[in-house]
Amino acid sequence: MNKRLGFVGIIIEDRKENAPKVNEILSLYSEIISARMGLPYREKNFSVITLIVEATTDQLGALTGKLGKIDGVSVKSSLSKV
């Protein structure tokens, strides 16, 4: 399987409730995460996380699928063509 460079954008609503769940999943997939940037938006109780990943389509799908099952979490991702 061919790993490709990509990104994952995550928006977390009710960050105090959902951020620990997101972090637990990200820890499980730490081997494909090259970089992470997070920004808490305290006024609205949101957080935004951007990941740079090197992953196969299956790995990325598994990660984003688990994140997307959490209520209050929105996920978008993309991988390079090569």
Q: Which mean pLDDT values do the consecutive 10-residue runs of the chain (82 residues) have?
A: 95 95 98 97 94 98 98 97 90
pLDDT of residue 59: 97
Q: In sequence order, what DSSP letters do the residues of 13-31 get, joined into one string?
A: ESHHHHHHHHHHHHHHTGG
Which DSSP state fits 33?
E
pLDDT for 73 equals 98
pLDDT given at position 1: 77
In 3-state terms, what secondary structure has residue 43? helix
49 to 8, 15, 60, 72: CA distances (angstroms):
8, 11, 15, 14
Q: What is the residue extent of each domain of the chain? A: 1-50
pLDDT value for 82 = 87
